[in-house]
Amino acid sequence: MSRNTKFLLVSLPASISPTKDHDEALTTLRSAVTLDYGTVFPFAIPEFKIGTLDALVQQADDLVKLEAACEGVVGKVGDSLKTILEGDEDKISQSKTVNDKPVEQYLKSFHWNKVKYRADKPLGEIIDTLQKEVNSIDNQVKDKYNSYNSVKTNLTQLQRRQTGNLSTKALTNIVPPSLLIRDSDYLETHLIAVPRNITKDFLRAYETLTPMVVPRSAVQIAADDEFTLYAVTTFKKHSQEFIHKCRESKWTPREFKYREGGKEEESKELEKVMKDERKIWEQALRLGRTAWGEAVMAWVHVLALRVFVETVLRYGLPLNFVCGLIRTTGKLAKKARGSLDAKFSYLGGNAFGRDKKGRVTKDDSSTSADMQAAGHMGDGGDYSAYVCYEFEVR
């Protein structure tokens, strides 16, 4: 699906056709939006149990908030997939399906999922079910993504210790045990990583940095492009002061304690974390794919409920309406709306008029304020003469 694709979900009374026939009304809708502006597909919405008018008004308000939450969760799951797949757009696109279908195909063939969201239940119960599902999806993905981030960070740190410079990398394979004083009550060996451009300064100054530094004890152990690693011996009573002074001089003290079998332990730890990272990556990807599809499905069902509730509030009972999905683009959506306005502005009564050239005009802001107070404002606070919601699935 093109990233520029936009959808309009439109509901109109069947009275837009002379016979009030559903199929003829859909044909009338199609005639209002030419192929230059978009393509119209039927969008089937079942009839739900309708409560009181007050309940419908409250549900309309609840659905606005729930739709925003659904869109937010879809976006967050999409961001998680993007991170897990390292921004590979082809793989991300392949992972974004609903019921194993591309999003556009799912929307074109939409049928209300009566197994997950029973249409014979009261509207309030259906809304509550959708709310709980969306919250559950959000929490599951968040928990798994946090777990993945944690193990990924751990792996990155371990790999940096294997491949970094002498100020950060693991020293198990670098420092010979024979250079370390391990069993003395008074003396201690310190490992200091010194930037290569100031090694001469270090060699001139280390003996007088603090009291009781063993003269000429500095031994070069290793060097890379950035640092030279030295071993220096001091008396333990001045060790902390020596370490502090090294940091002040921009020399990096390295903590290191020799352990028998340390090399094997580090190797095993790295291997274990690599396996853990791969395992959680696969779990996160699998969950992300499933969760994205389920979140989009919930979002579309919420949109269908919004259309239904607004249809009842706008057109009244008995219900006889037609709903269509218009596939368009970001640039053409405004023209498609303009074409719909021109064809169906009469449904808005006094809220719409025409100028001297016959173009549709909307009434003043006071009318819009009245409509907003009555709960009949479309997305973005813009009143339309018919039920219409715009959305993009990214």
Query: For the segment 54-99, what is each residue's pLDDT rounded down to a tens digit?
Result: 999 999 999 999 999 999 999 999 999 999 999 999 999 999 999 9
| Range from 80-89, 295-304, 319-328, 366-375 carrying the lowest mean pLDDT | 366-375
* pLDDT at position 364 over 80: no
pLDDT of the residue at 268: 86
**Tokens 């002498």 -> residue:** 166
Sequence-distant (≥ 6) Cβ neighbours of residue 18 within 8 angstroms: 24
CB count within 10 Å of CB 99 equals: 12
386-to-110, 143, 346, 378 alpha-carbon distances in Å: 21, 41, 10, 9
Mean pLDDT of 374-383: 52
Which tokens hold the place of 263?
């090399």
Residue 164 or residue 134, greater confidence: 134
* Cα separation, 240 vs 384, whole angstroms: 74
Query: For the segment 283-318, what is each residue's pLDDT rounded down to a tens digit?
Result: 999 999 999 999 999 999 999 999 999 999 999 999
* Cα separation, 235 vs 239, whole angstroms: 6
Query: For the segment 267-281, what is each residue's pLDDT rounded down to a tens digit?
Result: 888 899 999 999 999
Q: What is the 3-state secondary structure (H, E, C) of the chain?
A: CCCCEEEEEEEEEHHHCCCCCHHHHHHHHHHHCCCCCCEEEECCCCCCECCCHHHHHHHHHHHHHHHHHHHHHHHHHHHHHHHHCCCCHHHHHHHCEECCEEHHHHHHCCCCCCCCCCCCCEHHHHHHHHHHHHHHHHHHHHHHHHHHHHHHHHHHHHHHHHHCCCCCCCCCCCCCHHHCCCCCCCEEEEEEEEEHHHHHHHHHHHHHCCCCECCCCCEEEEECCCEEEEEEEEEHHHHHHHHHHHHHCCCEEECCCCCCCHHHHHHHHHHHHHHHHHHHHHHHHHHHHHHHHHHHHHHHHHHHHHHHHHHHHHHCCCCCEEEEEEEEECCCHHHHHHHHHHHHHHHHHHHEEECCCCCEEECCHHHHHHHHHCCCCCHHHCCCCCEEEEECCC
**Tokens 């970094």 -> residue:** 164
* pLDDT at position 374 over 80: no
Query: For the segment 211-228, what is each residue's pLDDT rounded down to a tens digit?
Result: 999 999 999 999 999 999
pLDDT of the residue at 139: 97
pLDDT band at 1 (very low <50, low <70, confident <90, very high): low
pLDDT of the residue at 348: 82
Q: By percentage, how much of the chain surpasses pLDDT 90?
A: 78
For residue 326, give the nearest of 35, 19, 96 by alpha carbon: 35
Burial 235-251 (b: 16+ CB within 10 A, else e): beebbeebbebbeeeeb
* pLDDT at position 366 over 50: no
pTM confidence score? 0.79
Which tokens hold the place of 184?
């003395």
pLDDT of the residue at 173: 84
For residue 351, give the nearest of 338, 339, 364 by alpha carbon: 364
Give φ, ψ of 101 to 5 degrees.
-120, 150
